[in-house]
Structure 1
Amino acid sequence: MENFQFWDFRFIDFVDVFLVAILLYYIYKLVKGTVAINIFIGILVIYFVWRLTDYLNMQMLHRIFDGFMKVGIIALIVVFQPEIRKFLLMVGSTNLGGKRRIFKSFNFLKSDIETTTDIDAILSACVSMGASKTGALIVIERNNNLDFLMNTGDETDIAVSQPIIESIFFKNSPLHDGAIIIENNVVKATRVILPVSNEKTIPERFGLRHRAGIGITEKTDAIVLAVSEETGQLSYIKNGEFMMFKDMEELSEKIKKDLV
């Protein structure tokens, strides 16, 4: 009788499975909430069908899927170019020297994590600035480290509060031009210059402020709040896409969920 090998599970096998789980988690996190999630699911379905046809020895169908899998990597690079860029930036910009960031990288292991950023204070400031038609561009850092943008503006260390944000973007303030970057309830930089999106589908009514907000969310996983100087309208930008919320409580819950 052959030995039963099910329990022959080495420590390195556990590490292998664990690392694959982390990789799949971050891939899912990058494509979640975008049209790419449907493509990602479609690729998984094709992969499992490819393996199933091989297992069932369905040679003709397997050859079709096998040919697709061999050239599919080129198609994946084209289709997932923005997501691949974000993933590489996430890996390259992770600050391994900070303990907080290390544990933040593994926050999927915890179910009771809450963001430390005072989102309600930020939204209250945005509503107030919108009423006075004061333009604002607020970038909230998530997993991707945004330190590479620091030299384009002024580095600061100011705790987030409604009066602070409103005073920064006050029209006569020397700090109002450009964006601010917030991390862990701290304004870490002001007057930051963001990369501008060249996407042709952006409505003409949105100016450089909104294009900059789209640009940084296309290149990183940051989220952006933009207040229009012309209309006072508040826009929430994530993954290069606009989202409009009339209910500030709903928007607050959305942002808090995105930051976890």
Structure 2
Amino acid sequence: MDFLNFLNFGLLDFIEIILVAVLLYYVYKLVKGTAAINIFIGIVIIFIIWKITEALEMDVLSFIFGGFIKGGIIALFIVFQQEIRKFLLMVGSTNFAKKRNFLKHFKFLKQEINTDTDVEAIVNACTKMSATKTGAIIVIERSNSLEFVKDSGDTMGMEVNVPTLESIFFKNSPLHDGAIIIEGNRVTATRVILPVSRATKIPQRFGLRHRAAVGITEKTDALVLVVSEETGQISYIRDGEFVLYEDLNTLQDVLQNDLG
């Protein structure tokens, strides 16, 4: 009888299942590629074990696992603080006034991240700027909206290529100060002010450019390339961490993979 009742579900039940699936998918996307993914998988496993022990009426084990799940909500907020912040910032940055772009802001509903970015041009531009020690900070948007920082800069619509990127960060250019935002294969904003990270793990030798790069990647899933004005070193930052690479070809492959 219980089995028949289980099969007898309506439209609202179907919608609820779809929404739960979308929610779980987005949570997975937030923690994918970070240390939190292992914690997320562990929680899912414990939850499944709890439900199995509950169904088998194994009271002691069910009580233990149930207590862990029910009493660990506060701990989860602490562990997933960075990921929860990303989600809330994404939701909070949605500009409902722009009705024509309404769906654009809900990028977590997309199955894939836009991969038409000219990664080779970006890396080549960084290489040339590195040779001349021209400071630069390039932010590549992925699934999280960057509208909340784009508003601090100037709106643009330029195609991504080496001359464009070099001209923006040329020392005498009025656009060189601040970061640029790349969406798809277009520079959509320049002179953008980014949130600065206060993390103590960042080495002292890195300045505000690098702290800003870490800051935006702590709050969103954006990818950032930084060219140091002092040393010419090219840094790649993702998920609030510096990503090590062997050479520029490796950097291009890693960047392409992260976008794909």
- TM-score, with normalisation over the residues of structure 2? 0.88
Letter in 1 for 2:151: N
Q: Name the structure 2 match of 1:79.
A: 79
User: Superposed, which structure 2 residues align to 1:125-204 within 5 Å?
Assistant: 125-204=125-204
Q: Name the structure 2 match of 1:252.
A: 252
CA distance in 1, matches of 2:129, 2:42: 43
Determine helix, strand or coil for the equivalent of 2:82: helix
Determine helix, strand or coil for the equivalent of 2:72: helix
> Contact (CA 8 Å) 1:90, 1:143: kept in 2 or not?
no
| CA deviation profile, 1:213-258 (whole Å, cap 9, x unmatched) | 0001111121111111222221111110110223434333333333
Letter in 1 for 2:32: K
The answer to whether residue 43 in structure 2 is matched with residue 40 in structure 1 is no
> Contact (CA 8 Å) 1:114, 1:256: kept in 2 or not?
no
Q: Name the structure 2 match of 1:66.
A: 66
Structure 1 residue 259, shift from structure 2 partner: 2.8
For structure 2, the residue ranges without an aligned partner over 5 or more in a row are none
Determine helix, strand or coil for the equivalent of 1:200: coil
Determine helix, strand or coil for the equivalent of 1:152: coil
Change beyond 3 A, Cα 1:152–1:98: closer
Q: Name the structure 2 match of 1:107.
A: 110
Identity percentage of aligned residues: 60
Determine which of 96, 101, 104 is the counterpart of 1:98: 101
Structure 1 residue 6, shift from structure 2 partner: 7.1
| CA deviation profile, 1:63-122 (whole Å, cap 9, x unmatched) | 2222222211111111111101111222333567438837954432x7xx7612211111
Change beyond 3 A, Cα 1:37–1:226: same
| Residues matched between the structures, number | 257
Q: Name the structure 1 match of 2:227.
A: 227
Root-mean-square deviation (CA, aligned residues, Å) is 2.4
Instruction: Single out whichever of 243-252 and 24-33 deviates more from structure 2.
Output: 243-252
Change beyond 3 A, Cα 1:146–1:55: same
Q: Name the structure 1 match of 2:206.
A: 206
For structure 1, the residue ranges without an aligned partner over 5 or more in a row are none
| CA deviation profile, 1:39-81 (whole Å, cap 9, x unmatched) | 1111112111211221222212222222222211111111111
- TM-score, with normalisation over the residues of structure 1? 0.88
> Contact (CA 8 Å) 2:178, 2:190: kept in 1 or not?
yes
> Contact (CA 8 Å) 1:93, 1:144: kept in 2 or not?
no
